[in-house]
Amino acid sequence: MDPAYFTRALLCVSGRRRPRPVRCSGGPVRFDTLAHHPYPGGSDRRKALNPDDVVVPDLGKLTRPLRAAIRGGKVRPRRAKQLWATEISWDSSPPDPRGVPLHRHARYVQGAFYTLWRQGTDVVTWFRLRDEARGRGFEFGLQSGIFFRGATVAQDRPKPLSFRAFRFPFTAYRRRGVAQLWGLAAGRGRVAIERRRGGAWRRLTTLRARGDRLYFAKRRIRKGTLLRARQGSETSLSWRIGPNETE
């Protein structure tokens, strides 16, 4: 059963675009958190072709019926629920020859984090932190780790780009000409957003990471500008401003 259809049936609502409560058997459903594995069908920005499938950018297919169900008294307790993305990942190449290249893997990591945050996600679980053992072949395991698998955990090696993207994600997707400067810093406090100009990194603006390490701001920045975030001695991966990307 497709996840969006399942959610509407569970919550006793009907309609994809404008869900509304309907009559159904049984009493209100009781839960605290709505969870889903929004495994991607391509990039972190690619929506599902199936209208009832739910990948990384599609969580509105779950939150719209949830809001309708809460308003209609179909849910107990009758209050807002957390939204959890309980598994996401992409296999990387190497080690999986069919995975995405390492630079794209890192881009997808931080892009998925931003996209899920923008849709109101409270918890994201990356699956897995270390590559699985190869076994009979790459097709039988997940090579989606932030670490290349070693003989022991102590011998694991971080995937250099993906590890930085996971630890200090920074994105600057552009929407209607405005860059959405978003990230999770290494800790709370000031975060410098730097621009590459004249062969050197120069500070463009300073943001403040909250207690949960998140920072966000909007700035008009030209397409093609190369940015990065810095906090102390730690820097994010660089991000080149592209055309309108978020919608």
Q: Look at residue 209 in the predicted model and tell me its pLDDT.
A: 97
Q: Look at residue 138 in the predicted model and tell me its pLDDT.
A: 77
- Residue 186 domain-assigned (yes or no): yes
User: Taking the C-alpha atoms of 54, 58, 64 and 67 in order, what is their torsion angle to the nearest 10 degrees?
Assistant: 80
Q: What is the mean pLDDT of each run of 10 residues along the chain (247 residues)?
A: 96 95 90 96 92 97 97 94 97 94 97 96 96 82 95 96 97 93 96 96 97 96 96 96 68
Who contacts 233 (Cβ-Cβ below 8 Å, separation ≥6)?
none
Q: Look at residue 232 in the predicted model and tell me its pLDDT.
A: 95
User: Alpha carbon of 215 to those of 45, 85, 184, 210: distances in Å?
Assistant: 21, 20, 6, 6
The pTM for the full model equals 0.93
- Residue 188 domain-assigned (yes or no): yes
Q: Look at residue 247 in the predicted model and tell me its pLDDT.
A: 45
Q: Look at residue 244 in the predicted model and tell me its pLDDT.
A: 61
Q: What is the 3-state secondary structure (H, E, C) of 37-98?
A: CCCCCCCCCCCCCCCCCCCHHHCHHHHHHHHHHHHCCCEECCCCCEEEEEEECCCEECCCCC
Give the residue among 39, 80, 79 at the shortest CA–CA distance from 59: 39
- Residue 204 domain-assigned (yes or no): yes
- Residue 245 domain-assigned (yes or no): yes
Q: Look at residue 177 in the predicted model and tell me its pLDDT.
A: 86
Tally of domains within the chain: 1
Strand partners, 234: 231
- Residue 71 domain-assigned (yes or no): no
- Residue 216 domain-assigned (yes or no): yes
- Residue 108 domain-assigned (yes or no): no
- Residue 74 domain-assigned (yes or no): no
Q: Look at residue 75 in the predicted model and tell me its pLDDT.
A: 96
Residue 239 lies in domain:
168-247
CATH label of the domain that carries residue 185: 2.60.40
